[in-house]
């Protein structure tokens, strides 16, 4: 899937400017600095396709990518950015809530979790929102190269345990390192399963 064309389509700052929901869609969400743009770039093998969430102005755009005409990949604005103003946070919540609850075609949210930090309260807020909206989400641990094997297993097990009873959580947590290119093929396979044939 990702070996073919991946094209940046557009940035949307409001629901009115989203493309028509003509393709199945997955989105990537996570706290800022979680490694979201690195992961999107590593998955697609394209440097600079997605830009870091702490670059100015990135706190409020949804970025759409068309993957081989079979899937939309959506980069949601990062949340929990320390320097975000109250009005930025409010805008993030309004836009993403409306998007996550109401987007036809949204098949799964990949919620990225920094493996060094584990699940944070703001991640739980997002999971609660998704449980309520009955939108399936899958947790993806990032930057696994930063942990020793034993530490990573501990975080992985703890994370797995914490989603067990969450109604809309997809049962298996993924482990990835954009730096070492670990876990990318498994994640690509999950995404490919959701794309048009
Ligand atoms: P975003 O704000 O979520 O888009 O995060 P970025 O992709 O910009 O990454 C934030 C920081 O984490 C940057 O300094 C990256 O170089 C670093 N980073 C991202 N992914 C990895 C990874 O897999 N391993 C390591 N060691 N560092 C990473």
| 3-class secondary structure, 85 | coil
Q: Which residue, by CA, sits nearest to atom 8 of ligand 1?
A: 52
Q: Token digits for 159?
A: 């994370």
CA Rg value for the chain: 16
What residues flank ligand 1, with Cβ below 6 Å?
Answer: 30, 32-38, 52-54, 78, 142-143, 145-146, 177-179
Asked whether the beta carbons of 107 and 101 are under 8 A apart, the reply is: no
Rounded to two decimals, the pTM is 0.95
Residue 59: its pLDDT value, please? 60
Task: Please tell me which residue, 8 or 58, carries the higher pLDDT value.
Answer: 8
pLDDT tens digit string along 98-155? 999 889 999 999 999 999 999 999 999 999 999 999 999 999 999 999 999 999 999 9
Asked whether the beta carbons of 120 and 80 are under 8 A apart, the reply is: yes
Residue 123: its pLDDT value, please? 95
Domain ranges of the chain: 6-192
Residue 15: its pLDDT value, please? 86
pLDDT tens digit string along 45-63? 888 888 776 665 566 788 9
Residue 73: its pLDDT value, please? 96
pLDDT tens digit string along 15-33? 888 999 999 999 999 998 9
Residues 63, 72: Cα–Cα separation, whole Å:
10
Q: Which residue, by CA, sits nearest to atom 22 of ligand 1?
A: 143
Q: Which residue, by CA, sits nearest to atom 21 of ligand 1?
A: 143
CATH superfamily of 6-192: P-loop containing nucleotide triphosphate hydrolases (3.40.50.300)
Q: Which atom of ligand 1 is nearest to the CA of 32?
A: 2
Buried b (16+ CB within 10 A) or exposed e, 113-129: bbbeeebeeebeebbeb
| Tokens 């993030």, residue located | 92
Of 32, 33, 34, 35, the residue with max ligand 1 atoms within 8 A of its CB, to mutate for a pocket test, comes to 35
Residue 37: its pLDDT value, please? 93
Residue 122 half-sphere exposure, CB side, CA atoms within 13 Å?
17
Residue 58: its pLDDT value, please? 60
Q: Which atom of ligand 1 is nearest to the CA of 31?
A: 3
């Amino acid at each position: 899937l990702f070996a073919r064309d991946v094209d940046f389509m557009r940035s949307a700052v409001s629901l009115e400017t989203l493309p028509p929901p003509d393709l199945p869609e997955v989105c990537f969400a996570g706290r800022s600095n979680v490694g979201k743009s690195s992961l999107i770039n590593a998955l697609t093998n394209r440097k600079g396709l997605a830009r870091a969430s702490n670059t100015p102005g990135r706190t409020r755009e949804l970025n759409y990518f068309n993957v081989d005409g079979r899937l939309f990949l959506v980069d949601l604005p990062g949340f929990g950015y320390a320097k975000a103003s109250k009005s930025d946070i409010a805008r993030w919540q309004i836009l993403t809530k409306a998007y996550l609850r109401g987007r036809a075609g949204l098949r799964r949210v990949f919620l990225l979790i920094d493996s060094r930090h584990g699940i944070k309260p703001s991640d739980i807020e997002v999971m609660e929102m998704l449980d309520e909206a009955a939108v399936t989400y899958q947790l993806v641990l990032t930057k696994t190269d930063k942990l020793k094997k034993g530490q990573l297993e501990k975080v992985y097990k703890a994370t797995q345990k914490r989603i067990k009873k969450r109604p809309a959580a997809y049962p298996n947590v993924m482990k990835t390192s954009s730096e070492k290119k670990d876990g990318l093929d498994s994640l690509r396979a999950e995404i490919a399963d959701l794309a048009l044939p």
